Structure 1
Amino acid sequence: MANRTEADDPGYKAHQVFQDLDRFILFYEEFSELVVGFPTFGTRAIINIDTYLYSSIQGTLESIRLVLEKGRLGDGFALLRKYHDAAVLNIYTNLYLEKNLNREDTIVQEVTDWLSGNERLPRDNYGGMSEYIEKSEELKPVFSALNKNSEYREMRKRCNDHTHYNSFDNVLINDNRVYAPKRIELLNSFKNDLENIFILHLSYIFYLNDHYMRASDYMDALEVGVSPEPDSQYWVAPFIQEIFSDLIVVKYPEIAEMIKNKTAMHLTIRDEYE
């Protein structure tokens, strides 16, 4: 076939990364809808600003899926870096608001100016935001657990190499007509990098904002004028419990314990319900 590309290889088309992307795309869609009702204290936003960010991340993951389907693996890594940037941005803004908010009616001007498009964030680049997170006492336990090895540094370097074509190999891997013997091996790395960013994002956010895990039952009852079931404000949304058990508990059980021990939410560890 004249138009056949490396993306038509059966092993490539059936790779687990596509199922993972579908799962994460659906997760961010549901997560965006779940948090919409929580106010973003410290800003003048009427709707939670994270609901827009999670929807935007959903779009980035959809774009990643499209370019991977075409065999443009290098472009996939460039978009993966964008996903990582968005996750770090989200962690940073939530942490910054928490650290700089004294009362619920206080406006955190730096974030408000960013929302209005008047200013960049105080640390308007990935390095500055990452350093702020790294030096935070609030997130130190999670940071330490995530950075026991060099996985995240290697992931970032891999994304940068493909974004900036730091090697001619990075050029070739983005050409879906060129046979690359390590294409599947690199796709395996992509899958692992994608999962690691997802875990990083949720680990920090659930540790900071445990109410983001709350199922909608409590608010649904109030909205229709009936009394919520006892303790329903502590129920965890099923899709969050599922992803928490399948990924965070399995890969970073110590972080799962940290989150569980810090929250009043009825979050369970896998062993507790098997």
Structure 2
Amino acid sequence: MNDSEYNNHKIFKRLTEYSDFYEGLSDTASNSFTDGITSAFNIDTYAFTSIRGTIDSIKDTLEKKRIGDSYSLLRKYFDSVLINIYSNLVLLDNFNIENFVVEKIDKWVKGQEQMPDNKIISPYIRSSQRLTAINALLYK
């Protein structure tokens, strides 16, 4: 593949589209509060902004032809998406009138507790009844 073919590859346009998509998600989410935490900011806004930044970094490193670095950033993207899914599931599963503040998530947001690692996050997502249909497609 020559430089022109590389620089005009469709991935660069797609990455711009994905970045714009996450910017839109972030803007939309910023208009609401996250139920279950005491913080005034929306955790989805933070997650979507972070994911957008990662996508922009993937595009930048690909433009510099640093494929290995782009793969590392792709892993960061994957982890960010999993953390966002996990935190939303924990909130959905635990927030109610008797449990107005979901301590686990609230402490993460405040920096008082570490986020769990993938050994906890992945099984929680896979076993979620809320995600049965999509998990059936992803984990055949």
Scaled to the shorter chain, the TM-score interval is: over 0.9
What is the aligned residue count?
Answer: 140
Moved runs in structure 1, 4+ residues, more than 2 A?
none
TM-score (norm. length: structure 1): 0.49
User: Are 1:42 and 1:104, in contact at CA under 8 Å, matched by a contact in 2?
Assistant: no
Q: Distance in 1 between matches of 2:99 and 2:28?
A: 23
User: Which SS does the other structure have where 1:90 is aligned?
Assistant: helix
User: Are 1:37 and 1:47, in contact at CA under 8 Å, matched by a contact in 2?
Assistant: no
Give per-residue Cα distances to partners, 1:89-112, cap 9 Å, x unaligned: 000000001111122871110111
Counterpart of 1:16 (choices 10, 17, 41) is 10
TM-score (norm. length: structure 2): 0.93
**How far off its partner does 1:14 sit?**
1.2
Which amino acid is the alignment partner of residue 16 of structure 2?
D
Structure 1: stretches of 5+ with no match in the other structure: 1-5, 149-274
User: Which residue does 1:36 correspond to in 2?
Assistant: 30
User: Which residue does 2:125 correspond to in 1?
Assistant: 133
User: Which SS does the other structure have where 1:83 is aligned?
Assistant: helix
Counterpart of 1:143 (choices 130, 135, 138) is 135
User: Are 1:64 and 1:76, in contact at CA under 8 Å, matched by a contact in 2?
Assistant: yes
Q: Distance in 1 between matches of 2:4 and 2:117?
A: 40
Counterpart of 2:79 (choices 82, 85, 107) is 85
User: Which SS does the other structure have where 2:31 is aligned?
Assistant: coil
CA distance change for structure 1 residues 104 and 38 in 2, over 3 Å: closer, same or farther? farther
Structure 2: stretches of 5+ with no match in the other structure: none
Report % sequence identity: 39
Larger relative helix fraction: 2
Q: Comparing both chains, which one has the higher relative contact order based on Cα–Cα distances under 8 Å and sequence gaps of 6 or more?
A: 2
User: Are 1:57 and 1:83, in contact at CA under 8 Å, matched by a contact in 2?
Assistant: yes
User: Are 1:41 and 1:104, in contact at CA under 8 Å, matched by a contact in 2?
Assistant: no
User: Which residue does 1:26 correspond to in 2?
Assistant: 20
Give per-residue Cα distances to partners, 1:243-268, cap 9 Å, x unaligned: xxxxxxxxxxxxxxxxxxxxxxxxxx
User: Which residue does 1:95 correspond to in 2?
Assistant: 89
Q: Distance in 2 between matches of 1:60 and 1:127?
A: 23
User: Which residue does 2:110 correspond to in 1?
Assistant: 116
Q: Distance in 2 between matches of 1:26 and 1:127?
A: 31
User: Which residue does 1:73 correspond to in 2?
Assistant: 67
State the superposition RMSD in angstroms. Answer: 1.6
Q: Distance in 1 between matches of 2:12 and 2:104?
A: 38
User: Which SS does the other structure have where 1:138 is aligned?
Assistant: helix
**How far off its partner does 1:11 sit?**
1.8
User: Which residue does 1:205 correspond to in 2?
Assistant: none
Q: How does 1:214-225 map to 2 (within 5 A)?
A: none
Find the structure with the greater CA-based Rg. Answer: 1
User: Which residue does 1:256 correspond to in 2?
Assistant: none
Q: Distance in 1 between matches of 2:130 and 2:69?
A: 35
